[in-house]
Structure 1
Amino acid sequence: MPQLALDAATLTYDDEGHRDTGAAPLVFIHGWTANRHRWDHQMAHFSPHRRVIRLDLRGHGESTGSGARTIDELADDVLALLDHLKIDRFVPVGHSMGGMITQTLALAHPDRVERMVLVNSISRMAYSRGRGLLMAASTLVPFKLFVAANIQRAFAPGYPREEIREHIRSSATTPREVVMTLYAAMRAFDVLDRVPEIRTPTLLVHGYRDIQLPVSQMLRMATSYPDAVIRIIDAGHELPLEKPAELTATIDRFVTDPR
């Protein structure tokens, strides 16, 4: 289990698969309160054919540290890992907050991002005044209740309750400072006006039943992307867990498309 020591943090990551195929490595970036195992299905599928990397963001999973207060700072961590691994061109695949990190990387380093995949992610947090007040009020409830409420509503109806409870328990192990700081970072994230600058081929794949980041917000964002492919899957916000095989097949078709 390799690790990379950074300033005030240690990143745990996996670096697997073939390195001599000539294909740019896939870099899987998880979302808020999650960890690198969100991508187990994708790692198992792609590693026999190409190099694949995933990491626990600082303060998540088996990585340590806090201190990152913006999406830009998390993107810097990902880039530091890739520099450490001597990877120039890569294909980031980001879920939710990981998709925000992915867009940040594409904007800051367009020469290094060959193509990218955004899973249940958006370019700007947008909500009605009422929902905004509800989200602000939710930060005032006890921490475990705050985490449980957010994770519970991430899954579409019918997902096994015991599995949801396990994900709630896992998310609640993320330090409170990390959870609340990055919750604020996501709410502040806004690159929608810069999306037309992103010229790299992009796959936007979203769960139709996502109520955390509704599909309508993704479609509004999609109109700004110069070169985007859109796929809608019957799932909630946790697409990598709810429909892993369908998501993997969708990513595979996109990254192997020669266009």
Structure 2
Amino acid sequence: MPQLEVDAARLTYDDEGPRDSEGVPLVFVHGWTADRHRWDHQLAHFSKTRRVVRLDLRGHGESSGAGVRTIDALAEDVLALLGHLEIERFVIVGHSMGGMIAQTIALAHPERVERMVLVNSIGKMAYSRGRALLMAASTLVPFKLFVATNIQRAFAPGYPREEIREYIRASADTPRDVVMTLYGAMRAFDVLDKVGDITTPTLMVHGYHDIQLPLSQMLRMAKAYPDAVVRVVDAGHELPVEKPAELTTALDRFLTDRA
């Protein structure tokens, strides 16, 4: 698998599909404690007809590196990879924290982002007082329990428990420093007052049962976007693995309608 060294990190990525396709490349960015394999279904589908890039963010999956404290820094990693691959213009698809990275890039480099897709993502973390106390308390428990609690909550009711356990085990392999610092980075993320400047055509796909980043928060953000399409799916926060085919169909339609 190809890797790129960037600022004391080694980023693992996939770059597949035809280079001479009519559409610009698709760039997929995963979320907190996840990895590039969240996008397996989309890679298999879209790489038949267009160039597809996905990566493990630093400290996640098969990428090394730690010490990243902000969403902006992760966005710089993504841009460094795209520079290395000589990709100037692209469609970016981000799940959860990956959607925060996508919005950061769209705000900083609107001329490079042809379209954007936000999957279970928002422009600002907002908690009720009770939920804020619960989340603050969760950081005081043992690390593996902290991770397990957050991943368990990410899936809609009824999702197979054994599969959830596998995702918990994989997430717990993410270095503690990476998990906790990026947890703080997500809580500090706030571009809600800036998203009105994002004129990039945007698709927002959200799980109805998402309690990590509730649907109501996404809808609040969507109202501020000048050009946004919203799709709600019967899933939780982990929509890419809960309903991969539905997500692929939504992406396909969005790209086709905007062609």
- Taking structure 2 as the reference length, the TM-score comes to 0.99
Q: Which residue of 1 aligns with 2:164?
A: 164
Secondary structure, counterpart of 1:168 in structure 2: helix
Deviates more, 1:122-131 or 1:164-173: 122-131
Is 1:84 aligned to 2:84, yes or no? yes
C-alpha separation between the residues in 1 aligned to 2:69 and 2:103? 17
Instruction: Report the identity percentage.
Output: 79
TM-aligned CA deviation for residue 22 of structure 1: 2.5
Is 1:70 aligned to 2:70, yes or no? yes
- Structure 2 residues not aligned, in runs of 5+: none
- For residues 83-142 of structure 1, what are the alpha-carbon distances to aligned partners after superposition, in whole Å with 9 as ceiling and x for unaligned? 000000000100000000000000000000000000000000011112111111111100
C-alpha separation between the residues in 1 aligned to 2:89 and 2:62? 26
Secondary structure, counterpart of 2:204 in structure 1: strand
C-alpha separation between the residues in 1 aligned to 2:50 and 2:193? 34
Is 1:138 aligned to 2:141, yes or no? no
Q: How many residues in Structure 1 have an aligned counterpart in Structure 2?
A: 259
C-alpha RMSD of the superposition: 0.6
Q: Which residue of 1 aligns with 2:113?
A: 113
- For residues 176-208 of structure 1, what are the alpha-carbon distances to aligned partners after superposition, in whole Å with 9 as ceiling and x for unaligned? 000000000000000000000000000000000
C-alpha separation between the residues in 1 aligned to 2:78 and 2:255? 20
Q: Which residue of 2 aligns with 1:242?
A: 242
Q: Which residue of 2 aligns with 1:179?
A: 179
Is 1:257 aligned to 2:243, yes or no? no
Q: Which residue of 1 aligns with 2:39?
A: 39
- Structure 1 residues not aligned, in runs of 5+: none
- For residues 121-176 of structure 1, what are the alpha-carbon distances to aligned partners after superposition, in whole Å with 9 as ceiling and x for unaligned? 00000111121111111111000000000000100011110000000000000000
C-alpha separation between the residues in 1 aligned to 2:7 and 2:115? 29
C-alpha separation between the residues in 2 aligned to 1:209 and 1:134? 19
TM-aligned CA deviation for residue 19 of structure 1: 1.1
Secondary structure, counterpart of 1:54 in structure 2: strand
Q: Which residue of 1 aligns with 2:204?
A: 204
C-alpha separation between the residues in 1 aligned to 2:76 and 2:257? 29
C-alpha separation between the residues in 1 aligned to 2:141 and 2:224? 37
Is this contact kept in 2: 1:8–1:67, CA < 8 A? Answer: no
